[in-house]
């Protein structure tokens, strides 16, 4: 009876893990390259970032970010709107999803084939 809930939780975990791997790899690449920069401010900032992140336990970082989340983000009624359709509040982030029917997908395939 709980198989669908377990499968959904597993699928969500895999999806979030994949997204986090991609973004953290990109962030690590940018920070690593910036740390090698000849700009002293950029290199110093990245050096501090790496040393703080490397020498702190993950649970301390999570508690810090969680407490910062509640201080920085507004309540739901006053959600931030940085981009059209994107909202950020204490409850989380809302990003528009792309939905497509069969006709739209067919047109997209034809357009890509002709391009």
The confidence score (pLDDT) of residue 34 equals 95
Q: What is the pLDDT along the chain (115 residues), one digit of tens a residue?
A: 789 999 999 999 999 999 999 999 999 999 999 999 999 999 999 999 899 888 889 899 889 888 888 888 888 889 888 888 888 888 888 888 777 788 888 888 999 999 7
The confidence score (pLDDT) of residue 103 equals 86
Q: Are 89 and 73 in contact (CB under 8 A)?
A: yes
Q: CA 12, CA 18: separation in Å to the nearest integer?
A: 10
Give the Cβ contact number of residue 107 at 10 Å: 11
Q: What is the dihedral of CA 21, 43, 49, 82, to 10 degrees?
A: -70
Nearest to 43 by CA among 31, 55, 53: 31
């Amino acid at each position: 009876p709980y198989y669908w809930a377990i499968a959904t939780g597993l699928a969500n975990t895999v999806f979030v893990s994949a997204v986090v791997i991609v973004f953290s790899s990109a962030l690590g690449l940018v920070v690593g390259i910036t740390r090698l920069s000849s700009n002293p401010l950029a290199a110093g900032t990245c050096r501090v970032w790496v040393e703080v992140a490397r020498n702190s336990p993950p649970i301390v970082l999570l508690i810090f970010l969680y407490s910062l989340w509640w201080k920085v983000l507004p309540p739901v009624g006053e959600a931030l709107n940085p981009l059209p359709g994107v909202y950020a509040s204490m409850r989380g982030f809302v990003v528009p999803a792309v939905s497509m029917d069969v006709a739209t997908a067919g047109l997209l395939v034809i357009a890509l084939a002709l391009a």
